[in-house]
Structure 1
């Protein structure tokens, strides 16, 4: 039993799976002829969410075309994960009671690589039927510069050479938009679905910086610049669906069904992939209603199209209060305490108390209430349903990736809110749990767990710089000077605020000293401040 179109003909073998209720080859042919939705980023989030949404629309008869995906970074995925299976995928939804919902997703009409299939991608951009180009390329793909403010080499090349022969993803997207201008002449919406604040606007800022450089150098004309600035829309989004790496246990379950080739693999670039994705049942997607040539009827599936300010408030509610700060806190302390699953951490009373009190007592007073989702209900679902789900194999180690690039949003916004508040009850000096979370991240950077054993830190572009500042600090270090921590704790790029200026650096330092006192100090400190008593 293989995951391909031929195998789907044996209906009996797939009786425990939800199957596509449409003619897949016919759908693919219609989509290729008149594409409406192109997506960049062929990873697990795409297959678990946008591709499933496309399937729902096809099943309900809301559309007769599917979705096309294009991978621009790890192109090995396309051959290994898509073409090897006739562009079919398996979406496995994991419920907290142990149920699995297994679905064959057939809505992906084409799977392309930007490098080898650029001409085909250009054809798609030129199609008058195209309404939306979406992205899940991770927040690292949007900046044009490294931490030293230097242009990345491929971006520098594009800045100098113009729209022809672009090398960077952002440069290529601009060139494709200009190709659309010169072919069909219609507008287009570019929609980031990455989990970062102002996601589509980040895409716009990067694109327009390059475009203005091209205009200044005479590489594009006024009409082309005008098209990019006025005819390309950038609707912002708030997306939320936990999609961990493929779990070997799910692979075993699928193999027991008779499916071949389900074992997760790793590409040369380090991407973990499998023919299936495992994901949770809760999901949220809000999109700014700014589509100059319309959009697929996603509102029929519960996707909320609304004003930009409501989307931004919802994104801030999630990223600054109800979910992402808890993600980071569980990630760093989970690594320190030897946990390998987030759900297992939710059996740890000290950690549960830490994230519950941090979010309910300290972060919630500064929450951005969007009106369309209740912050308290959203937080309760995260704490009571999503995190404790023992069948969601998400790991602290995965979530700890790139933490230095996430702290400004996840903690800095709340700290700034306290700093700006005129109310005495909202003084920064009264914060207790939020500083403990930040101190936990500093303790994590030492690379030694609470038993005193070294562990591998998750990838982070700032890791070498951060560890250099912390050089010489180890378990049992009695003197940690302000001068040593100042470059980190005063960094606005990292925290969004200068922790000394807002008045929380001293408490973070105090907690950090307790956390490095010796083996067992992490548990002792957590219990001291987060125990039931």
Structure 2
């Protein structure tokens, strides 16, 4: 039997089984990182476990990273206590190849974890000590887009955030508040430079991160909790940088299929662990072979040789172009299309949707016909080749158990970037007419149809979590399958489609509001109308 918890006692057996093992001094790196890391990562979810930890392991194996990475959580300690701790912070990375084979590797470069929250004062104090040290070079983040959110759809500070700013750094509770308090500790200890690196999957992530930290810092200044010098410190990117990045690796929640495959191989201690939110972790992290991290090279306190771990280092303009290419055109909009229509059509795996000729035609039209015309080539990745790889190799990968329900999570937070950005680009180009678009409006209509919580068979389903779900569903409550009228659809759709906080643009001003309404009305005609509408428009 194979065991991740005791892998170092069975290295010969694991190596014989084809498991790739660490080549560095695990104990030395772990001890050095726990004492004082050069790299801290916030958000120890599956993306870190499958991707960032691989980058760090590559560097450690080459002798280029001698201190392990410390993982920090700010919201709850569940993953540290229930996922990392039992395995001594080691991870089994499982790359799921398109031919069905599994490529497995033990990642043992995570030195430990801290729950940087006042609920655990000793952990929070340790996190502050890490930030006080000038030896810390970078903090990376995968906390999802909503982790940076401090304001509501109207642009007003959330009530809990306003209260937090009034109370001051000692009472920081939001992730942005806690991170700002750690930067305050660094400032008070000598103001050493540091790079704060968002690798979350949304456009201009570095700018959004910087804006959030400055909102907290200026809020504390207004309430007399910090000095102008601290605000100046976090404002100066020569001292506190917020590099922009593009990240791409499909990393589903650990799946029962992978769990069973590993059990069949002889692994005995890699069962799934359910989180309080219903997501799953395990001792393993399953992911795809393809991966990209394009990162602005802005590290005022130095950095590890990240390029040796496969990271594409570049300037900000290139990073923005790569991210815009992926997030607004060549991957994420196609993913969201498959997510909402997959839920409506009863699919539970993305690869299953890639065997549906209608859906494949839809995302091909979406990507090639409507997204690519406004994409600026970043040069470091070819956009057309990127879409081709996605359609031909990545999404059809049957070994990758990704679900449309996972991707549909937080869609209201994504549509502005995934569709609004492209719509704004069409509106800004005199040679292009956004009102002529077909497939972007069809996806948006599909999302509104999805919000009704009734699938194409007429059966109820539970939409994925979304911070605006209740608010949005209020608008579509009156839409009934087989009973909707144009007037009812307009009343339901207008508050959503005109909301620039959701889409970045007013779809009616672009001549698309009425088109989306018409497509939504088509999809409400009765059971089977979603499928019929897709077939009609492709």
Q: TM-score range by the shorter chain?
A: over 0.9
In the TM superposition, what is the alpha-carbon distance from 1:119 to its structure 2 partner?
A: 1.1
Asked whether 1:316 is paired with 2:329, we answer no
C-alpha distance in structure 2 between counterparts of 1:66 and 1:265, whole Å: 25
- Is the 8 Å Cα contact of residues 94 and 104 (structure 2) preserved in structure 1? yes
1:81 aligns with 2:83: yes
Give the SS at the match of 2:381: coil
1:479 to partner: Cα distance? 0.9
1:174 alignment partner, SS class: helix
Deviations 1:301-360 (A, max 9, x none): 221121111111111100111001101100111111111100110111110000001111
Q: CA RMSD in A?
A: 1.5
- Is 2:505 the counterpart of 1:503? no
What stretches of structure 2 of length at least 5 have no aligned partner?
Answer: none
Equivalent position of 2:285 in the other structure: 277
| Match among 477, 480, 484 for residue 474 of structure 1 | 480
Alignment-derived partner of residue 96 in structure 2: 94
Q: How does 1:7-406 map to 2 (within 5 A)?
A: 7-15=7-15, 16=17, 17-115=19-117, 116=120, 117-147=123-153, 149-230=155-236, 231-406=239-414
Q: Offset of 1:478 from its aligned partner?
A: 4.1
Secondary structure class of the residue paired with 1:501: coil
Q: What's the CA shift for 1:260?
A: 2.3
**Deviation larger for 9-18 or 96-105:** 9-18
Q: Does 1:436 align with 2:438?
A: no
User: How far does residue 91 in structure 1 lie from its aligned partner after superposition?
Assistant: 0.5
Deviation, 1:523, is 1.3
C-alpha contact (below 8 Å) 1:157/1:167 kept by paired residues = no
| Deviations, residues 20-55 of structure 1 (Å, cap 9, x unaligned) | 112211111122334110000010001111111100
1:473 & 1:460 partners in 2: Cα distance? 20
Structure 1 unaligned blocks of 5 or more:
none
Contact 2:74–2:178 at 8 Å: present in 1 too?
Answer: no
Render the CA deviation track for 1:427-452: whole Å, top value 9, x for unaligned: 22321222111111111111111111
1:513 deviates by 1.1
Q: For the Cα contact (< 8 Å) 1:235–1:289, is it kept in 2?
A: yes
1:522 matched to 2:530? The reply is: yes
Q: Cα 1:486–1:6, aligned 2, differ >3 Å: closer, same or farther?
A: closer
Distance in 2 (alpha carbons) for counterparts of 1:154 and 1:190: 24
* Aligned partners of 1:35 and 1:127 also within 8 Å: no
Distance (Å, rounded) in 2 between the aligned partners of 1:156 and 1:2: 51
In 2, Cα distance between the equivalents of 1:4 and 1:325? Answer: 37
Q: Is the 8 A contact 1:3 1:88 kept in 2?
A: no
1:66-119 per-residue CA deviation (whole Å, 9 max, x = no partner) reads: 211011123111111111111111100011111210111100011221132111
Structure 1 residues 5 and 399 mapped into 2: Cα distance closer, same or farther (>3 Å)? Answer: closer
Deviations 1:384-428 (A, max 9, x none): 1111111110111111111111111111111122222212xx322
| 1:167-223 Cα deviation digits (max 9, x unpaired) | 222112111112112224311110011001111221211111121122223221122
Query: Residues of 2 paired with 1:118 and 1:293: CA distance?
Result: 23
Matches within 5 A, 1:474-493: 474-481=480-487, 482-493=490-501
Distance 1:56 1:210, change over 3 A: same
> Alpha carbons of 1:154 and 1:14: their partners in 2 closer, same or farther (altered >3 Å)?
farther
CA change 1:422–1:146 in 2 (3 A) is closer
Q: CA deviation at 1:150?
A: 4.8
Deviates more, 1:461-470 or 1:45-54: 461-470
> Aligned pair count?
528
Give the Cα separation in 2 of the matches to 1:3 and 1:183. Answer: 43
Change (3 A) 1:478 1:268: closer
CA 338–3 in structure 1, closer or farther in 2 if over 3 Å, else same: same
Mapped contact 2:42–2:72 kept (Cα < 8 A): yes
Answer yes or no: is the 8 Å Cα contact 1:343–1:387 preserved in 2. Answer: yes
SS in 2 for 1:388: coil
Distance, in Å, in 1 between the alignment partners of 2:483 and 2:358 is 25
Cα distance in 2, alignment partners of residues 224 and 496 from structure 1: 32
Greater shift in the superposed pair: 461-470 or 279-288: 461-470
Q: Check the 8 A contact 1:8/1:14 in 2, yes or no.
A: no
Change (3 A) 1:213 1:504: same
| 8 A contact 1:36–1:67 mirrored in 2 | yes
CA distances 1:270-302 after superposition (whole Å, capped 9, x unpaired):
332111110001111111111101111011222
* Higher alpha-carbon deviation: 87-96 or 261-270: 261-270
Bigger drift between 266-275 and 91-100 goes to 266-275
Cα deviations by residue, 1:215-271 (Å, 9 ceiling, x for unpaired): 223221122222221221111111111100101111112222332232212122433
Once residues 455 and 4 of structure 2 are traced to their aligned partners in structure 1, the CA distance between those partners, rounded to angstroms, is 45
CA-to-partner distance for each residue in 1:508-533, whole Å, 9 max, x for gaps?
Answer: 11111111111111111212222xxx
